[in-house]
Chains A and B, each alone.
Chain A
Amino acid sequence: MLPFLIRRLASGAVVLVAVCCLAFLLLFFSTDDVAVNILGEQATPEQIAAKNAELGLDQPLLQRLADWWVAVLSGDFGSSWFNNETVVGALAARLPVTLTVVAVAILAIGVLATTLGMTAAVRRGWADRAVQTGAAIGDALPSFMIGLILVSIFVVALPWFPAVSVIAPGSGVSAWVASLTLPMIALLINGVAASAQQVRGAVLTQLSRDHVRTLRSRGLPEREILFRHVLRSAAPAGLTVLSLQFIGMLSAVVVLEQVFALPGVGTLAVQATTTGDLPLVMGVVAYTTVIVVVVNLLVDLANGWLNPKVRVA
């Protein structure tokens, strides 16, 4: 187990370094306009040159990349070019909102998708058709569109929820619930569709396997067969889809945060990208990559725990 863990962590680190270097490279080609963005339409060439020097944009690419890595390895992600807010501080203020939305949505998707997928596979008939149709519809609608539909129903027509975030410093649970429920439901409807389909498929495959027939022939209760054997063997497929969903949600939530004006990382990423605030963008890239690597690792570990067959030496 330990060698596996070390290997996965090492490959995660390689991914992190590669993604950060690539992102830095891509951003390098768009930083030409940053000084003009900051200085506005009447900036003189001298002003632009002075601003470029102030931001270190007059340095060669490799020098800047090296400087960034040296600083990051000592724990310093730098500060926003525009308002001196530290990157770590900016992320720390916004991560709880984004992670709450995504994590709660993914947990709910896990529970609902398993329930729906198993019901469809076991019951078949109308339940199966209902799940399949619902899955197709949910999958076809992007989450931001579902968000807009939810707003027109539960904000405009029925004033049950606020249109935009009411989360403020020190605001209680009710403000969080009120602000995050609709975006979470939007992610959930979109995400549960694909996952339920996967669970249904995997359960159906397992149900037709020989060992299930053997278990049944030996008189085990159907409930035990379903939950202890079938679900356990079907879980890896569901978990893998769930981890992909989680990663997809990190980008879907960017648009949702705009629609609901949530003070999350997505809003920060959009703003930093449109202004060309390189330190902030790099901070967002690094944090997203770490989350993706960690989630993938956790899924692998969970798969190994659930199903000894996938335990890799």
Chain B
Amino acid sequence: MKSGRRILSAVLAVAGLLMASGCAAAGASTAPPGVLNIGIVQDVITWDVGQGHNGHRLVAFQPAYDTLIRREPDGTLVPMLATAWDYTDAGRTTMELEIRDGVTFSDGAALDAEAVKANMEHFRTANGPQAVQLADVAEVRVTGPQRLEVELERPNPALEFYLSQAAGMMASPEALGKPETDRTPVGSGPYVMDPARSVAGDRYVFRARPDYWSPDLQQWDEIVLKVLSDSTARVNALISGQIDATQLIPRNTAQAENAGREIVNWDANWAGLLLLDRDGAVAPELADVRVRQAINMAFDRQVAVDGVLNGYGTPTSQVFGEASTAYDPALDDYYPYDPQRARELLAEAGYPDGFTMTLPLPASMNENIPFIAQPLADIGITARITTVPPQNSQAELGSARYPAAYFQIFQGPTWVAVEQLLVPETLYNPFRSEDPELTAILDRIRTADPDDVEAPREMARYVTEQAWFAPWARMGVTNAVDPDKVRMEPQIGQAVPSIYNYHPVG
């Protein structure tokens, strides 16, 4: 009896000790003012600029690396490391860039035209995930200490945009290609990584760089990127104050709001079906435009927005978003929900009894299955859905084994969307389908002024009429912040805000 009581009190004492030290550590983790803690969804894996990416991975690079051109929250392109740029020929194949004078990298190396050339050549040979951004470059010529020319094999209307993205990130020429750059970035950015306090796969600590060339862009003393791939861990860390900002999944937003956090929501991706087999290679039915149109009419898009996206999204029939000159508000309700008309269209196409098709779906999106299969079943199409591991989902989609697929894809500027969705070379066009009428419009866009909206809108209308896709909605991205500490500015066409869009409060 006595010994039992002794054990009990010992257990209680240990538990108390644990709690006390737990409290102390939890309290200590509350960051001093001037430190911005961001929960990032994906690990960075490598800091080599040649492996630079878009979306989450782009933003993670921004503390360490400046880009040649900076993209404002509304999508306007403004000078950063390049002070000026313009095409020097009418055919828009040679761009001249002026490089800012007096900028140094964190290892002391100077930014000059030679450094920019070295970076561009590294990017082109590194075979990274965004290699397409400079794929049209034929040659980079240095024409002065701070001046160079980029010559293209063929016009690329997205080049300026790409220079605000991965392709425009500049690392010290001394660091390019060195293995240690995989672990520690060496850039000219507003912050410098503190390797002693960073752990790969867990957290990356960046300290403000003294004498940074553009103090306006450097709003924090320190930025900590904490890798939190689990959605529950992110919302818990946000609510408990361990992080100040992160991206949540829609079903976690209410919990964050109840705890006084602010949800900042804007449309950045589109969600829906890609009707890939436009030539009818594996599903002959899809070669008929009426079948593709019927599929578009099968979906009550608002139901999908409410059910799958918890209401964070805007129903639409087009794949082009507000960041694109192709975006035409009139196309948003081009295909009304009309299962009766859909069945008629299928009958006209010769399939009154419907047909069966197989779609791959990343296992992480399993909850979408009824929203895909039921509407299709209502018009007579049997959707066999094969779940695939998320890491294989892009490869499966691009394998030309599936006539259609559900996916969520980011909405970039016009030419980015063209290269991503429409050209025969892209992964999202696995059957390499082409349409002469569309190709003619694309050729016009290629050489037109990027601000011109006529040809892009014609393209949007044509692609929507031809029903290459059956979009559901522009998806809202649900970012969340602690409003007492951070004001977050949305970034058009990007799932998470750029690092410059986090402003300290007070």
Contact = CB atoms under 8 A, between A and B. Distances in A.
Interface of A: 30, 32-33, 36-44, 47, 50-51, 54, 82-85, 90, 93-94, 115, 119, 148, 151, 154-156, 159-170, 173-175, 177-179, 181, 258-261, 263, 267-268, 270-271, 273-276
Interface in B409-432: 419-420, 425-428
A163 B236 contact: yes
Interface in B20-49: 21-26, 28-29, 43, 45-46
Contacts of A267: 201-202, 229
A261 B228 contact: yes
A209 B226 CA distance: 58
Nearest to B199: A263
Contacts of A166: 25-26, 28-29, 242
Nearest to B129: A40
A177 B26 CA distance: 10
16 contacts: A37-B394, A38-B129, A47-B127, A50-B127, A83-B182, A119-B4, A156-B236, A163-B239, A166-B25, A170-B196, A261-B233, A263-B203, A267-B229, A271-B229, A274-B389, A274-B390
Most chain A C-beta atoms within 10 Å of own C-beta, residue among B24, B135, B226, B242: B242
A131 to B, nearest CB: 14
Given A82-B46, A90-B200, A261-B228, 15 more contacts: A37-B391, A37-B394, A39-B129, A40-B53, A41-B394, A50-B127, A115-B7, A154-B22, A155-B240, A163-B239, A169-B198, A178-B25, A179-B25, A268-B201, A274-B390
Contacts of B419: 42
Contact of B240 (A47, A162, A271): A162
CB-CB nearest 6 A-B residue pairs: A178-B25, A40-B129, A163-B236, A263-B202, A33-B395, A42-B132
Interface string B216-240: 0000000000111110110011011
A39 B132 CA distance: 10
B22 A163 contact: no
Given A43-B131, A156-B236, A259 B394 contact: no
B205 to A, nearest CB: 8
B426 A169 contact: no
A84 B182 contact: yes
B197 interface: yes
B127 A51 contact: yes
B436 interface: no
A119 to B, nearest CB: 8
B391 A258 contact: no
Interface string B439-479: 00000000000000000000000000000000000000000
B258 to A, nearest CB: 10
A88 to B, nearest CB: 14
Most chain B C-beta atoms within 10 Å of own C-beta, residue among A39, A177, A261, A274: A261
Most chain A C-beta atoms within 10 Å of own C-beta, residue among B45, B130, B179, B389: B45
A44 B259 CA distance: 47
Contact of A178 (B4, B26, B131, B226): B26
Interface residues of B, number: 60
B237 A261 contact: yes
A82 B226 CA distance: 19
* Chain A binding surface SS class: helix
Nearest to B421: A41
Contacts of A50: 127
A84 B19 contact: no
B26 A162 contact: yes
A260 B19 CA distance: 17
B200 A36 contact: no
B392 A165 contact: no
Nearest to B25: A178
B10 to A, nearest CB: 10
Contacts of A259: 230, 232-233
A162 B239 CA distance: 10
B237 A164 contact: yes
A32 B396 CA distance: 11
B466 to A, nearest CB: 22
B56 interface: no
A167 B199 CA distance: 10
Given A36-B395, A173-B21, A174-B24, A83 B53 contact: no
B240 A33 contact: no
A271 B22 contact: no
Interface in B125-164: 127-132, 135
Contacts of A148: 232
B236 A151 contact: yes
B414 to A, nearest CB: 16
A156 B240 CA distance: 6
Given A37-B394, A41-B420, A178 B240 contact: no
B270 to A, nearest CB: 14
Most chain A C-beta atoms within 10 Å of own C-beta, residue among B179, B228, B391: B391
Nearest to A54: B127
A259 B226 CA distance: 14
B202 A178 contact: no
A259 to B, nearest CB: 6
B401 interface: no
A42 B22 contact: no
A3 B389 CA distance: 46
A50 B233 CA distance: 38
A44 B432 CA distance: 12
Contacts of B391: 33, 37, 273-276
Contacts of A268: 201
Interface in B164-204: 179, 182-183, 196-203
B53 A258 contact: no
Contact of A85 (B24, B183, B398): B183
Interface in B297-314: none
Contacts of B202: 165, 167, 261, 263, 267
Contacts of A178: 21-22, 24-26, 29
A263 B26 CA distance: 17
A251 B26 CA distance: 27
A37 B395 CA distance: 8
A82 B43 CA distance: 11
Interface string B232-260: 11001101101000000000000000010
B18 interface: yes
A165 B28 CA distance: 13
A110 to B, nearest CB: 14
B451 to A, nearest CB: 24
